[in-house]
Amino acid sequence: MQLVPPSCFKPEPSRVSAAHLTAEFAGGRTILRRQQVGYPWHLTRGFYLDGARPDLLTLYLQSAAGGMYGADDLQFDVTVGDGAALHLTTQSATVVHPGRDRPAALRQRIRVGACGFAALTSDPYILFPDAELMLSTTAVVEQNGVLLIADGFSTHCPPRSTGVFRRFASELRIERPDGRLLILDRGALRGSDLSGDFDALGGARAAASVVLIAAPEQLPPAEEIEAEADRAGCFAGVSMAPNEAGLVLRMTAPDAGGLTRGITAAFHVVTRHLLCAELAPRRK
Amino acid sequence: MMQSALLAIWQADSGFPNGSFAFSYGMEAIAALRGRFSAQALTDLIESVLRLRWATFDRLLLLRAFRAGDDLAELHTLDRTCEAMTLIESLRLGTRRNGGSFVAAHARLGNPTAARLRDAIAAGDCLGHLPVMQGAIWRSLQFDEPSAQLASGYVTASGMIAAAVRLGAIGALQAQSALQSSLPIIEQLVIEADDAAELSSFLPFIDIAAARHTRADLRLFVN
């Protein structure tokens, strides 16, 4: 018989979670046709916040876990049907805790139907010392569908702690239904790469990308987005995306608060032009 | 070995008409933002570019094009991938125009691979992104892989140096000090970097500067 020492333990298994949302247009507005969301996520009820766009459904995604932890393997699938309009946003920033050599991973799959509108704007991921995060998003957008997606991160070192995050990696792949690749934005940064005014972030400590997939005639003026993001305290640059897919916005900020304000400002400029409506503030 | 080294020196020479004269790789916008560079600041900036874009993106595209040989379909796929992964328009157009000039120069020198690539670009089968074109043509010139990578890394660093000097953002001697400091970084990256890695690039600061630069009132460089 093999004796088990009383102090022995086996490594905790990964926390694996898969969530699915399907939004469809029915009865003059967008409704949730399917919702399968388990721990660590919690989804609020749907809100219709915009008088000028009563069909637009807004959902807040919350984490009940206090952030992301090493070996987390989370998956989120979102489908926005033909003609539906969904804004999915987070309730607050997400803390990414030290990973102990096991990165946390979030994989998102998005599908936007014909004439659909999907906005997924996340508050920044807060990378604690030794945190390691891998984001992977694959989106399939119909020719006349619209996708707005924003993701970013900020470094953070709590009082009485030292060090920087270990690694942040992100991949965004956007395709048409026939498989044609529009955009592939893949990059990775180690905390040790941040070294001063001429590092990857130009001395800032937070960065985000906002990608808009839309027809050329729907695109807002680049100068207006940059000006609004600058006013929010960010340093932002807008460019036409490859393959005439839409716009790309990069921004940096001194911290997560500034980055959140910049993402919010960009969201409102973009939607003002896209939806021809001034959307209500998303209270958090 | 010696022939490959000589070829690398020839191709890395700023006198070769490869079109890079018109491009600053985002340096003009950064100089406008930050003013004059110290030698250390310029070294830091070049190191960021080498580590977070050149080693993980341009170098890998170059290597894969080098290994693709005369497989035009594979070169086309690499070219399209470069297009989809270069999100900032001025940088995207820059590497295409730069690659087109590079191919044209070699075609005029009688290189048959370059002539094929020039025709493929004209027909729309290839886009002509610089690292892909470099890989294909340098292989046809009988480079070895390490020399091709060293030449590519050197061209990247020296191009940034030349742009900074022409912008008056740094003195000529200080710029050479920064270039000298970059050489061991290039060597280390060629020796240690993972050739099988997925293509990636992460330089938001330069992306932003390059994106804003396209709307600047007065510009000396294309990007």
Distance CA A230, CA A227 (A): 5
Interface pTM (ipTM) of the complex? 0.94
DSSP code per residue over B120-178:
HHHHTS----HHHHHHHHHHHTT--HHHHHHHHHHHHHHHHHHHHHHTTSS-HHHHHHH
Question: What are the φ/ψ torsions at residue A266 (nearest 5 degrees)?
Answer: -65, -40
Nearest CA in chain B to A236: B208
What is the nearest CA distance from B110 to chain A, expressed in angstroms?
33
Residue pLDDT, tens place only, A243-270: 999 999 999 999 999 999 999 999 999 9
Compute the mean pLDDT over every residue in chain A, rounded to the nearest whole number. Answer: 94
Interface residues of chain A, partner chain B, Cβ below 8 Å: 169, 181-189, 193, 195-204, 207, 209, 222-223, 226, 235-243, 248, 250-252
Verdict on whether the full-model pTM lies above 0.90: yes
pLDDT for A9: 53
3-class secondary structure, B46: helix
pLDDT for B25: 73
Percent of residues in chain B assigned helix, strand, coil, to nearest 5: 75, 0, 25
Q: How many helices (DSSP H) and strands (DSSP E) are in chain B?
A: 11, 0
In this predicted model, which residue has the larger pLDDT, A5 or A18?
A: A18
Cis amide linkage into residue A40, ω under 30° from 0: yes
pLDDT for A27: 95
3-class secondary structure, B196: coil
Residue pLDDT, tens place only, B114-124: 999 999 999 99
The answer to whether residues A278 and A237 touch, using CB atoms and an 8 Å cutoff, is: no
pLDDT for A5: 57
Cis amide linkage into residue B17, ω under 30° from 0: no
Chain-centroid distance, C-alpha B192: 20
3-class secondary structure, A53: coil
pLDDT for B20: 67
The answer to whether residues B34 and B173 touch, using CB atoms and an 8 Å cutoff, is: no
pLDDT for B19: 63
Interface residues of chain B, partner chain A, Cβ below 8 Å: 34, 41-42, 44-45, 48, 51-52, 56, 80-81, 83-90, 92, 198-205, 207-212, 214-215
Chain B residues within an 8 Å CB radius of A224: none
- Ranking A18-32, A91-105, A138-152, B24-38 by mean pLDDT, the lowest is B24-38
In this predicted model, which residue has the larger pLDDT, A100 or A5?
A: A100
Pairing of strands A94-96, A246-253: unpaired
Residue pLDDT, tens place only, A187-237: 999 999 998 899 999 999 999 999 999 999 999 999 999 999 999 999 999
What tokens were used for A98?
A: 């030290």
Low-confidence ranges of chain B (pLDDT < 50): none
pLDDT for A10: 56
pLDDT for B222: 65
pLDDT for B178: 97
Residue pLDDT, tens place only, A34-66: 999 988 999 999 999 999 999 999 999 998 888
Look up tokens 């395709």; give the residue: A175
In this predicted model, which residue has the larger pLDDT, A158 or B52?
A: B52
What tokens were used for A227?
A: 């000006």
What is the nearest CA distance from A178 to chain B, expressed in angstroms?
16
Of B92, B202, B208, the CB nearest to A189: B202
Give the model's confidence band at A99: pLDDT under 50 very low, under 70 low, under 90 confident, else very high.
confident
| CB pairs A-B closer than 8 Å | 105
The arithmetic mean of pLDDT across residues A167-179, rounded, is: 98
Question: In chain A, what are the domain boundaries?
Answer: 16-203
The answer to whether residues B89 and B59 touch, using CB atoms and an 8 Å cutoff, is: no
Contact A184 B81 (CB under 8 A): yes
pLDDT for B17: 78
The answer to whether residues B205 and A202 touch, using CB atoms and an 8 Å cutoff, is: yes
What is the nearest CA distance from B86 to chain A, expressed in angstroms?
7
pLDDT for A11: 52
pLDDT for B22: 66
Which domains occur in chain B, in start order?
22-213 (1.10.4190.10)
What tokens were used for A208?
A: 């985000």
Of A186, A193, A252, the CB nearest to B208: A252
Q: Tell me the CA distances in angstroms from B195 to A168, B67, B149, B154, B199, one per residue in order.
A: 20, 12, 11, 18, 10
Of B44, B92, B202, the CB nearest to A188: B202
